[in-house]
Amino acid sequence: MSEENVEIVRRFADCWERSDWDGMAELAHSDVEQHTTVGGVEEGRILRGIAEIRQDYEAVDETWEEHRVEVEELIDAGGRVVIFQHEYMRGKTSGIELDVQPAVVVDLQDGQIIRVQGYMDRSAALEAVGLPG
């Protein structure tokens, strides 16, 4: 099942990179939760369902001239998968550049994504799934 979970998360991440919201909806439970990034500016918010997640991401993308997210590694943690990412953003009006290497923990149940939690600190993400950071 773990290998299957990694493949589901790989497909979900590919859809995310292409803004393929219908593809993501096929892989996620209808009540999927996205918890905002631990250590991020909006830590503590919870988005529910692909439509709400999409609305939030589209609003955020309005502030960036350029925004790229690349998957570097997928780590199998049983019913959970950790994604190591490289994210680059450049502000539309400010020109400010951000270049970060966050992680995302994805929880799955019955072959569907049920929860997504970002982490600014990769070690914290690994510890959250019980792996050494």
Q: What is the per-residue pLDDT across 34-86, written as a single tens digit (0 to 9) for each?
A: 998 888 777 788 999 999 999 988 887 788 888 888 999 999 998 899 999 99
Question: What pLDDT is attached to residue 130?
Answer: 95
| Weakest mean pLDDT among 43-52, 98-107, 121-130 | 43-52
Whole-prediction pTM value? 0.91
CATH numeric code, 2-128: 3.10.450.50
Strands 46-48 and 64-77: unpaired
Question: What pLDDT is attached to residue 43?
Answer: 77
> How do the domains of the chain map onto residue ranges?
2-128
Question: What pLDDT is attached to residue 64?
Answer: 86
d(CA 69, CA 45): 21
Residue 1 has pLDDT above 60, yes or no: no
Residue 96 has pLDDT above 80, yes or no: yes
d(CA 75, CA 42): 25
Average pLDDT taken over every residue of the chain: 92
pLDDT band at 128 (very low <50, low <70, confident <90, very high): very high
Question: What pLDDT is attached to residue 62?
Answer: 81
